[in-house]
Amino acid sequence: MVFGDSVAYTAVIGLTKDSIRHYGVKVYPEAALGCDLDLAPSRLGGVVYQGQPGVNCGSWQSDWRHDVRQVHPEVAGLLIGRFELADHFYGGSWVHVGQPRWDRHLSLELDQAVTILSAGGARVALFTFPYIDPPLEQPNGSIYPENDPARVNDWNRLVRQVAARHAKSVTLIDLNRMLSPDGVYTASLHGVDVRYDGVHISPAGGELLQRQILPLIARIGTEDKAATRAHV
């Protein structure tokens, strides 16, 4: 099962194509457009968004628990970060990833997500977030702060730390390196346009990622299944 935001939502379109026939992996899409782990007001592209329970995964804790119980996935993937890169109004001021107080808050939410997704025995595949390069700029011509590659690096640092803390249940998948092998935003790989609008993953990009991601997912699922049988 793949949980997360619109980047996960678009990635799954290509990842699911003939995935059972080619890799023996059935992919359940559970990502939501505009998904944000936090209900605090966020600011993206100069627009302030107010998180709401039940909207854009605003009740993700209960929803994800329900989904995991219903499907019992062998692997639960989490790809999220677009709104986590944004400014959030928290504790009376605007904060962002890379600031210690907000980083602690985000880390606790990631810890909670891992606990929920692994509760049924699933291995969690935690994805780093890819660099972005949306065309929208501020009136003065500079990029919006949430599009700064430094924020992606700060977010991915938290993702790696969470993966290390939960090493027994989490496998880190470095999607950022897969999509940006040279360490910068990359729109095309091997002649394939893997991104569109500077943020999301194209269907062709999802298909290209299959060869790197799905064999690993299949192996993780098989190993966990074998471990479960050994303890029965």
What was the pLDDT predicted at 232? Answer: 44
Task: Provide the 10 A C-beta neighbour count for residue 104.
Answer: 10
Q: Which pTM value belongs to this model?
A: 0.94
Q: What is the pLDDT confidence band of residue 56, given thresholds at 50, 70 and 90?
A: confident
The reported pLDDT for the residue numbered 52 is 83
| Fold annotation for 2-230 | Rossmann fold (3.40.50)
| Mean pLDDT across 86-97 | 96
| Residue 53 clears pLDDT 90, i.e. is over it | no
Note the pLDDT tens digit of each residue in 132-155.
999 988 999 999 999 999 999 999
Residues ≥6 apart with Cβ < 8 Å to 232: none
- Classify each residue of 51-71 as buried b or exposed e, where b means 16 or more C-beta atoms within 10 Å of its C-beta: beeeebbbebeebbeebbeee
Q: Is the pLDDT of residue 127 over 80?
A: yes
Residue 101: strand, helix, or coil: helix
Is pLDDT above 80 for 226?
no
CA–CA gap between residue 188 and residue 121 (Å, rounded): 37
pLDDT of residue 103: 98
Mean pLDDT of 183-201: 97
pLDDT band with cut points at 50, 70 and 90 for residue 222: confident
Return the pLDDT at 225: 56
Q: Is a pLDDT exceeding 60 seen at residue 55?
A: yes
Structure-token pair, residue 55:
């909207």
Q: What are phi and psi of 130, to 5 degrees?
A: -80, 155
Q: Residue 230's pLDDT is what?
A: 45
Reference 50, options 39, 58, 61; nearest CA is: 39
For residue 231, pLDDT beyond 70: no
- 116 alpha carbon, distance to own chain's centre: 15
The pLDDT, as a whole number, for residue 229 is 46
In angstroms, the CA 215 to CA 217 distance is 5
Rounded to whole angstroms, how far apart are CA atoms 186 and 191?
12
Instruction: At 9, list the tokens.
Output: 């939502």
Confidence of residue 221 (pLDDT cuts 50, 70, 90): confident
Residue 184: predicted pLDDT: 97
- Mean pLDDT over 106-111 rounds to 98
Tell me the pLDDT tens digit for each residue of 67-88.
999 999 999 999 999 999 999 9
